[in-house]
Chain A
């Protein structure tokens, strides 16, 4: 029998680990500079915890059974776990809470797939117990800064507003509202045209369908609608948010306001966004997030609602977009040394010399030659392992040899 990872799972080998760690380390540094503290939650959760928010369908969770037949799931995202921890174990802490994470998540592929990826790596933040425009602005600016920190300039932020999206659908009769919402969320314009709506409502639905583009244009268009008071407030808040965000940075964020970016479930309550990139003829969703002011209440022992907002970045997507980047490490062994004892009697001296090298200020990698190889084989090994410096040790002298890079 040949042991292989399951289709959809994989091993990451050292170079890929080094590259993804470089990306993630840089993201985490920015999170920390903004005051976010890392939290580690459980990989396993009760299935009910994972699906409580309504955004995660049970069929998308890889499930496990306990011996007592209770259902556990591998987390498909971190927000549910962090929300659970924040309102229970961290309830005594000061507010707001700024938390960040780096973790793997798991998703059950759809039925009939042919090896879709099941395990993903994410880095993200949650800003909890903080509502309002300033918190929204912080999250958007933080997202822009993290992408800049890994050298990604060419991206776009597609941003919607869940509460405004919901208000816009209020004029539809209750029994058709879900169909309209489904058609708009899935960009099904033809489906919208074939719904049994009055001509007036159909025209209105098609106008909603086109609410997408430059923020100022879209806000101007939607302001012409006969809006509810709540919707008017949302429009005003969005306008103020964009002004605050765009005037707080030198380079304005590349925002596309898309009021059709709505979900078919009630999870998000405010802004909702995706950061996307189109490089190498591929489309990448680099990250996504939004405001969820009703989520913490689901996990709170007394069901108290508290606001929250966050985003997560998808490491695989970032990695693919950055593969050509000169900043990404392109070999694993940088600054590597190999210490070789010429004879058995020189082995102690070799260990001592290697230790001396490791104590230096500079971070270097020092390997010991474990013997049984001819000098020619040692040179071949050093060449193939990107080891530039060889230290030959015998009882009389220590000879440092620097190999030419190829």
Chain B
């Protein structure tokens, strides 16, 4: 059966609403009492896997899910071998460099060489500073990245920004946008080429309701 990997958390309601628009109902995932991680839609045409945002491309790359909803930020960070088919136009955010408001550095280029940058997006951060030819040490964190500069562990952070409220409340300032991100429809390349479970029809339907 066609399997779709969908992300837990903030992106889930919109992902489910979009799938409902094309006749696939996985709203059971929204039920607070739900503990199931794999459900089949009531018509029996597809099943969905509920996974962490960073794990969506993993299930799709290995082919356990033929389709997935993955943020462009995650795709840039993990560079998985998946087909990138549609910009689903939700989950908009940007990956940015931020520093404390009191910081003397107002531009990433001004950061001192060998300074420390905290981030969940280790590869994106490394790639960006390599392009600047600025040697830095990335400190990998899994969350609350803002604490890096607040505690003095790092001079800057590279983190996702959607409204900018979290940055403001923690006295941080966005000084450079690395890229803008939104949710993409990704596919397992071989399954897509072979049009497994006639996924092309489903992709066309999704494109029409966008």
**Complex interface: chain A residues within 8 A of B194 (CB):** 156, 158, 256, 276, 278
CB-contact partner of B86 in A186, A189, A258, A285, under 8 A: A189
**Interface residues in A241-289 (C-beta closer than 8 Å to B):** 256, 258, 260-261, 274, 276, 278, 281-283, 285
Cβ distance A33 to chain B, nearest Cβ, rounded Å? 29
Contact present for B83 and A187 (CB under 8 Å): yes
Q: How far is the CA of A213 from the CA of B199 in the complex (A)?
A: 12
- A319 is an interface residue with CB less than 8 A from chain B: no
**Interface bin, chain B:** 20 to 34
Q: A190-B184, A278-B196 are in contact. Are A283 and B84 (CB under 8 A)?
A: no
Q: How far is the CA of A247 from the CA of B124 in the complex (A)?
A: 52
Cβ distance B186 to chain A, nearest Cβ, rounded Å? 9
**Complex interface: chain B residues within 8 A of A274 (CB):** 190
- B115 is an interface residue with CB less than 8 A from chain A: no
Contact present for B193 and A212 (CB under 8 Å): yes
**Residue with the highest number of chain B CB atoms closer than 10 Å, among A187, A188, A258, A276:** A187
Contact present for B85 and A187 (CB under 8 Å): yes
Contact present for A188 and B195 (CB under 8 Å): no
- A371 is an interface residue with CB less than 8 A from chain B: no
- B92 is an interface residue with CB less than 8 A from chain A: no
Q: How far is the CA of A285 from the CA of B194 in the complex (A)?
A: 12
- B41 is an interface residue with CB less than 8 A from chain A: no
Contact present for B184 and A283 (CB under 8 Å): no
**Complex interface: chain A residues within 8 A of B81 (CB):** 186
**Complex interface: chain B residues within 8 A of A285 (CB):** 190
Q: Across the two chains, which residue of chain A brings its CB closest to B182?
A: A190
Contact present for B86 and A282 (CB under 8 Å): no
Report B86-124 CB contacts with A as 1/0, cut-off 8 Å: 110000000000000000000000000000000000000
On chain A, the number of residues with a Cβ less than 8 Å from chain B's Cβ atoms is: 22
Q: A156-B194, A212-B195 are in contact. Are A190 and B188 (CB under 8 A)?
A: no
Report A272-315 CB contacts with B as 1/0, cut-off 8 Å: 00101010011101000000000000000000000000000000
Contact present for B85 and A190 (CB under 8 Å): yes
- A35 is an interface residue with CB less than 8 A from chain B: no
Cβ distance A279 to chain B, nearest Cβ, rounded Å? 11
- A8 is an interface residue with CB less than 8 A from chain B: no
- A191 is an interface residue with CB less than 8 A from chain B: yes
Report B167-210 CB contacts with A as 1/0, cut-off 8 Å: 00000000000000000100111111111100000000000000
Q: How far is the CA of A186 from the CA of B64 in the complex (A)?
A: 19
Report B61-92 CB contacts with A as 1/0, cut-off 8 Å: 00110000000000000000111111100000
Q: How far is the CA of A158 from the CA of B192 in the complex (A)?
A: 11
Q: How far is the CA of A380 from the CA of B167 in the complex (A)?
A: 71
Q: How far is the CA of A186 from the CA of B196 in the complex (A)?
A: 18
CB-contact partner of B190 in A190, A191, A276, A281, under 8 A: A276
**Complex interface: chain A residues within 8 A of B187 (CB):** 187
**Residue with the highest number of chain A CB atoms closer than 10 Å, among B82, B83, B192, B194:** B194
Report A206-249 CB contacts with B as 1/0, cut-off 8 Å: 00000011000000000000000000000000000000000000
Contact present for B189 and A187 (CB under 8 Å): yes
Q: Across the two chains, which residue of chain B brings its CB closest to A256?
A: B194
**Complex interface: chain A residues within 8 A of B193 (CB):** 158, 187, 212, 256, 258, 260-261
**Complex interface: chain A residues within 8 A of B84 (CB):** 186-191
**Complex interface: chain B residues within 8 A of A191 (CB):** 84
Q: How far is the CA of A187 from the CA of B192 in the complex (A)?
A: 9
**Residue with the highest number of chain A CB atoms closer than 10 Å, among B64, B86, B190:** B190
Cβ distance A160 to chain B, nearest Cβ, rounded Å? 9
**Complex interface: chain A residues within 8 A of B87 (CB):** 190, 193
Q: A212-B195, A278-B196 are in contact. Are A189 and B83 (CB under 8 A)?
A: yes
CB-contact partner of A282 in B63, B184, B192, B196, under 8 A: B63
Q: How far is the CA of A188 from the CA of B192 in the complex (A)?
A: 12
Q: How far is the CA of A149 from the CA of B194 in the complex (A)?
A: 23
Q: How far is the CA of A282 from the CA of B87 in the complex (A)?
A: 27
Contact present for A256 and B195 (CB under 8 Å): yes
Q: How far is the CA of A261 from the CA of B194 in the complex (A)?
A: 11
Task: Show 16 residue pairs from A and B whose CB-CB distance is below 8 angstroms, ordered by the A residue.
Answer: A186-B83, A186-B84, A187-B192, A188-B83, A188-B84, A189-B86, A190-B84, A190-B86, A212-B193, A212-B195, A256-B193, A256-B194, A260-B193, A278-B191, A282-B63, A285-B190
Which 6 residue pairs of A and B lie closest in terms of their CB atoms, listed nearest first? A187-B83, A283-B63, A188-B84, A190-B84, A158-B193, A189-B85
